[in-house]
Amino acid sequence: MNINRTYLLVALVQIAFWGSTTFAFDPGLSGVSPECLHECETALGTVGENKSAEPLLALLRKYPTNLEQAHLEVNTGIVYGQRTGVVDPEKAVEHFTAALRYELPERTYIQVLMWRGNSQEQLKKQKESLRDYLRGLLACSYYDLSGGWPEIKIPTNPMLMNSPDPENTTRVRDYNMYRKRLDFQQFLFTQRFFFIDAVKRVTSGSSVGQAEILDALNDLSPDSTRTKIVIEWLNSENKRPWP
């Protein structure tokens, strides 16, 4: 095995999955045009300089397809929620809410719930932020998070760059799928930790107790098995999942 070349490929795979500075949909979802992606990237680069989200708002008027609208609404929400000089929680909520009207990939949906909940919390809207955090926990509850933090391992077999060997191509594809799945598991563990922390934060020192949380969960979902899981999570010690 060529160890150096194997580690180089692993590093490239990791970079691909962690993504860029802009919001990225799951790789399997197509439909956002390259022109929209490029213009969104450019617009995001000017936000800090101009202290304005107007370039993104202009793109929302320019690109009408559902996927492009969802992509742009999420990025605009992030700008209003996080970018220095542009932060406006009310506008962030508006754009995240617009994004949630579309059928988002699961990872994106969970992220938007956290971001919108944070903005609702900044606006002192306790009930709304709590419901978003509970929505996030309900989404996480449909995945098996009973085990510990999944460690991503390097390939057991060599994967070489520019190899003509078809078996090497298959190994690369298989490792990519393995990495994608474990990366999503790590994401879920991390999001569950922060959602639980957020629920405890917004209910601390308030009159909201377990009965009110249970009522909210039952209102958000008829699936009592998921409600039970979320309540168990909230009543357990919320240990940081990553090493």
Residues 126 and 212 sit within 8 Å (Cβ to Cβ)? no
CATH architecture observed for domain 9-143+166-235: Alpha Horseshoe (1.25)
Report the candidate in 78, 81, 74 with the shortest Cα–Cα distance to residue 104. Answer: 74
Number of other residues whose CB lies within 10 A of the CB of residue 153: 11
Q: What is the pLDDT of residue 14?
A: 34
Report the candidate in 187, 193, 184 with the shortest Cα–Cα distance to residue 234. Answer: 193
Distance CA 178, CA 171 (A): 10
pLDDT values of the chain reduced to their tens digit, one per residue, 243 residues: 333 343 334 333 333 333 333 444 443 345 789 999 999 999 999 998 889 999 999 999 999 999 999 999 999 999 999 999 999 999 999 999 999 999 999 999 999 999 999 999 999 999 999 999 999 999 999 999 998 999 999 888 777 777 888 888 888 899 999 999 999 999 999 999 999 999 999 999 888 899 999 999 999 999 999 999 999 999 999 999 999
H or E element that contains 13: helix 3-18
Residues 242 and 189 sit within 8 Å (Cβ to Cβ)? yes
Residues 19 and 67 sit within 8 Å (Cβ to Cβ)? no
Q: What is the pLDDT of residue 162?
A: 76
Distance CA 179, CA 183 (A): 6
What is the reported pTM? 0.85
